Amino acid sequence: MTTLTQETTPATAAPQVVSAKGVHLTDKAVARIRTAIAKEGISPDQGGLRLGVQGGGCSGLSYNIRFDTQPRERDRVFQFGDVRVFVDPKSFIYLHGMTLDYQETLMQQGFVFVNPNSSKSCGCGTSFSG
């Protein structure tokens, strides 16, 4: 598992790089994100993967994952080598301590959310309640 060792605390409301106490990525997830960012033509120096939570899904909340060209003003920015992950403040409440993995089997492939904050989840793997 890749961990973050750098922590900064800016005095403004700009995006901040925070320690690995927030979200974690496995080496497989980092490699897959790196490949996908290159395919999308997003600059790794500015863009990254956005993780979020939104209302809905069969258990009340669902995970949201997409690419973004830059962090937003109050985002927490997690750095894993050359891969950046952006999390907005509201989503961070539910994603703090979560691990993002990437699994590839004969039946399926994709990102897997391992979230200790989830009190209940459904079979689809993208919906949970906090």
> What's the confidence (pLDDT) of residue 55?
81
CATH superfamily of 16-117: HesB-like domain (2.60.300.12)
Kindly tell me the burial class for residue 129, based on how many C-beta atoms sit within 10 Å of its own C-beta (0-12, 13-18, 19 or more).
Answer: middle
Report whether 6 contacts 79 (CB < 8 A). yes
- Closest Cα to residue 14, out of 103, 86, 97? 86
Q: Residue 21: what pLDDT?
A: 65
The whole-number mean pLDDT for each consecutive block of 10 residues of the chain, a chain of 130 residues, reads 35 43 91 95 93 77 92 95 95 92 91 77 48
Domain ranges of the chain: 16-117
Pairing of strands 61-68, 127-129: antiparallel
CB burial class (10 A; 0-12, 13-18, 19+) of residue 70? middle
